[in-house]
Chain A
């Protein structure tokens, strides 16, 4: 009897797992195809279709590095989204616009530091709103020309976004504590619209270059390295490590993990939930602000839509990693970033964003609890 029982169970689990296995096989095929391409092996299947092909290791390395750079930003932004999702239990659609706020605040500060004396402060504060002179290379906001300006920019980006996030929480979300996730979601759409267009009203609608990229690309040990990307990676990894120690070693971190796990139990244990909610906004907002600043450092351009366009990718990362898990958000971010960039091997360049969204939908359907399920804390 025990045997039949377990066999029935097996058949059941196989039926449940069938789509997952299918996706796994497809993924493995893509991986083998990638390896064949890297090795330069090509097997013709039909007249104009083949398996494998050629892909230079250098090009692939470039794609992978690009994916990691994008993925780190998405992961950094995803930490905040994941924390607010698990602790406040709603999908925050205004998270992308927190990134934008951080980007504009940070770059305004960088411009004031780097361009002080060159142009009037009033013009610097609005980060080339007109799009005309002064040009980005006249102001010289770059890690080579003015490293201090970049550092100040990052700190200001975090600070302003934290204040903004706390203010929004106080005005919008606090009166709605305990309401359903959908009500809060709708409110966050309202916040997203208002925030984005306040930014457009103040900083203008144009998408313009702000980062000075002269002499940023250098050769280190035979590899051409973009120092701005290096700055981004160092800053993102440092912040992620900081998050890790905060959550594992401090009392606040422990309280946050408890809140994410079971809010009622946390309240009963005497954890001041309202203070933890504020701490969540401080950390989530700060990281979002820095992430927004770093996106601009990487891309070189700034625009009021920047965070909104990233939002779905950030959601994808958070869902991929499992909501509530910051390690999941980081891993999900890297996975989304690499998918975004490496999928170009197989699909045309106007589809890679769609590929990342499709990956998100696939994960939601097959494993709604995320790839790293069970790690709902920290």
Chain B
């Protein structure tokens, strides 16, 4: 939490590192420290492949960190602040992306879209995600936490199966076209989901690209593009990488916006009610707070943010299919929040950095780099062929197999880390910090000389 008026050092296992600094500067140090450590690590992986490769790898890494950071912050609002155990994040992302794609898609495309401007599509996607959140929240929030988990997981699967359904695609196309054919400025074809074959998304990165290229076409730079490329071309950084970095910077600004918004919410009276709901629902409602209304509001807000993050993440690839929204995506985000410590916004960002760097991309790249530099020979086709030579003392086939199947090992590592964290450090790296509930910091109260025996005289 960004705490404006506390000079006390941060708590938590990592927080004590910077005693004496204000919490905000120690948070910044932690975030950038972690980020640059991960950068250094990845630079080693691709070192020697040229500067363009390094810059492009770091771009991809930063991109993932930023989108996971956004989603982790949104989930932290649900789970960390309010205690709503939502494991349907992928579903709400899907609603955001699909609605945006249907609103802003090309009317001549397959499936057709409505051809509205991208910003309207983005807002529409957020509103749709919030509305689905409302539908989920109204009845489900009365449930116990583990039931809510199952309901949200079920809902996200229903959403995914719906977008995957050809029958739904036909139906929504028909239904929207009957509406749009009566509205003058909309194309008559309606909008479809594309079912299992996916849908083209007008990329939110497109406008960023037009800053550098006239009409977004490569080889036709704008004055700004000319100026930037004049610096980057001689170093050997490709123009595409520069444009992609620009989009990453936009995402960084959005992430800051998320952080600012959630910090404001967390420190507001509204946020204090949320925390009280998390700690004890009964107390909050006994104090006259409409717990359910607070929950619905916060659920909708979080879902809208998840929709936006989904658009900025999956939407920027220009194409999505229902398989991009498997439940496992939700678990990634959970791991990021848990690593950082639920309830802490800074923790969510640090959790995303550590998750992407050390768990998600790191091991994959490390094993890949290992496989590139050391020749293990051809990887055996099956685990049996990989294990059998170990008996005769030859472990290289096993290593070759492990490198070839590293994506599975990354998941095993992910699961194991999740278990270890929840067993030994359930509060995460930055969780369990004291959150000042009062506007004035009460922890640094000046020592008072006891003049009267207010405590019943026990100290005298």
| B225 CB to nearest A CB, Å | 43
| A365 CB to nearest B CB, Å | 5
Point out residues on A near B: beta carbons under 8 Å. 90-91, 122-123, 125-126, 129-130, 172, 175-176, 179, 181-183, 185-187, 189-198, 200-205, 312, 315-316, 319, 347-348, 350-351, 353-354, 357-358, 360-361, 364-365, 368
Residues of B within 8 A of A315 (CB): 150, 154
* In the assembled complex, B395 has its CB within 8 A of some CB on chain A: no
Chain A residue nearest to B413 in the complex (CB): A194
Residues of B within 8 A of A360 (CB): 150, 154
Residues of B within 8 A of A181 (CB): 145-146
24 contacts between A and B (CB under 8 A): A91-B149, A172-B419, A181-B145, A182-B145, A183-B426, A187-B422, A187-B423, A190-B419, A190-B422, A191-B419, A193-B331, A193-B414, A198-B412, A201-B408, A312-B150, A319-B147, A347-B167, A348-B165, A354-B157, A354-B161, A357-B157, A358-B154, A361-B155, A364-B147
Asked if B143 and A368 make an inter-chain contact with CB atoms under 8 angstroms apart, the answer reads yes
Asked if A190 and B416 make an inter-chain contact with CB atoms under 8 angstroms apart, the answer reads yes
Tell me the count of chain B residues lying within 8 A, CB to CB, of chain A.
48
Residues of B within 8 A of A191 (CB): 415, 419
**Which of B244-252, B265-273, B348-356, B381-389 has 4 or more CB atoms under 8 Å from chain A?**
B381-389
Majority SS of interface residues in chain A? helix
Q: When the two chains form the complex, which single residue of A130, A194, A357 contacts B381, counting CB atoms closer than 8 Å?
A: A130
Q: When the two chains form the complex, which single residue of B85, B153, B383, B411 contacts A126, counting CB atoms closer than 8 Å?
A: B383
Point out residues on B near A: beta carbons under 8 Å. 85, 139-140, 143-147, 149-151, 153-155, 157-158, 161-162, 164-168, 328, 331, 334, 338, 381-385, 388, 405, 408-412, 414-419, 422-423, 426
Q: How far is it, in angstroms, between the C-alpha of A29 and the C-alpha of B193 when the chains are bound?
A: 31
Asked if A368 and B383 make an inter-chain contact with CB atoms under 8 angstroms apart, the answer reads no
Asked if A350 and B383 make an inter-chain contact with CB atoms under 8 angstroms apart, the answer reads no
Q: How far is it, in angstroms, between the C-alpha of A205 and the C-alpha of B406 when the chains are bound?
A: 12
Chain A residue nearest to B146 in the complex (CB): A91
Asked if B384 and A126 make an inter-chain contact with CB atoms under 8 angstroms apart, the answer reads yes
| A49 CB to nearest B CB, Å | 14
Residues of B within 8 A of A190 (CB): 414-419, 422
Asked if B412 and A351 make an inter-chain contact with CB atoms under 8 angstroms apart, the answer reads no
Residues of A within 8 A of B157 (CB): 312, 353-354, 357
Given contacts A185-B149, A364-B150, A368-B143, contact A350 B164 (CB under 8 A): yes
Residues of B within 8 A of A351 (CB): 161-162, 165, 167-168
Residues of A within 8 A of B419 (CB): 172, 187, 190-191, 194
Residues of A within 8 A of B415 (CB): 189-195, 197
Find the residue from B149, B383, B419 having the highest chain A CB count within 10 A.
B419
Which 4 pairs between the two chains have the least Cβ-Cβ distance? A194-B415, A193-B415, A190-B418, A197-B411
Residues of B within 8 A of A319 (CB): 147, 150
Find the residue from B139, B140, B150 having the highest chain A CB count within 10 A.
B150
Q: How far is it, in angstroms, between the C-alpha of A364 and the C-alpha of B153 when the chains are bound?
A: 13
Residues of B within 8 A of A123 (CB): 382, 384
| B444 CB to nearest A CB, Å | 32
